Amino acid sequence: MTVSTDATAPEPLLIQRDHSPGVIELTLNNPKQYNALSEEMLSAMQDALQTVNERTDIKVLLISANGRAFCAGHDLKQMQSRPEQHYYEDLFARCSRMMVTLAQLPQISVAKVQGMATAAGCQLVANADLAIAADSAQFAVSGINLGLFCSTPSVPLSRNVSRKRAFEMLTTGEFIDANTAVAYGLINRAVPPDELDAAVHQLVDNIAHKPADALRAGKALFYRQLNMPLAEAYAAAGQTMAGNMLFPDTVEGINAFIEKRKPDWQ
């Protein structure tokens, strides 16, 4: 995993494996910089996601953060130190590659949002499959307030939030609270801060106890069919379900249901 070249800087990303089986947690770990997506953070995230992608024993990826903020977006001071078109193009390409890698993981990704998520930080939340936030958290794509339209964050935002709500957020830069984020569809639910750990654990543990093959096949189909015409989507879904029916864990699950017992999944 790539770390900062600054010896005094913290390791930008922590990987925790002490969860229940099938779960791994990536924790953004630069709270003094509000967990900004610096070059170092992006490299660490990309490396970690590629490793997770290859782990067949992992069903759920939990993304969390240390400190008061979840993620404040790109590191603007670092960006201003190199005012070059090719540098900016490369930086945004790296960020987009990381976001695409996250979206295409076979594992289910869950964002645990304890604080503010702005710009590319809000993008990270929108890119996760699921998200639970403390009801004190706030969200914004606020680049426009600095003269920078949040174009790359608009990609997952517009795929989670209705067009007019997404465009209002992008053109005003105004913050929305966690309950509004739930109503908009940006996150799944908001809970009191002291209940966040329990709510996330319950969700993650629930998913981690489901058969891995069915989760992976289902996630791939879910996103693939979204942009298909209706008949094509049904055809693809039918093929996926037909294959799913033959998975050993599915056969066991159906037999257990018929026999009124708990399934003995692998």
Question: Are 177 and 253 part of one and the same domain?
Answer: no
Predicted local distance difference test score (pLDDT) of residue 67 = 96
Q: What is the pLDDT of residue 1?
A: 32
Structure tokens at 137: 């958290």
Whether 200 and 223 share a structural domain = no
d(CA 211, CA 172): 43
Angle between helical axes of 39-53 and 85-103 (0-180°, round to 10): 30
| DSSP H/E element including 96 | helix 85-103
Walking along the chain (266 residues) 10 residues at a time, the average pLDDT comes out as 48 82 94 96 97 94 97 95 94 96 97 98 98 98 95 96 97 98 98 97 95 95 94 95 93 93 88
Question: What pLDDT score was predicted for residue 19?
Answer: 66
Note whether 97 and 46 are within 8 A (CB).
Answer: yes
DSSP letters, 55-89, are -TT--EEEEEESSSEEE--B-HHHHHT---HHHHH
Q: Three-class SS of residue 219?
A: helix
Query: Do 246 and 117 fall into the same domain?
Result: no
CATH label of the domain that carries residue 228: 1.10.12.10
Per-residue model confidence (pLDDT) at position 16 = 84
Instruction: Residue 239: give the domain boundaries.
Output: 212-258
Clarify whether residues 190 and 229 are in a common domain.
no
- Tally the domains of the chain: 2
Decide the pairing of beta strands 130-134 and 69-71.
Answer: unpaired
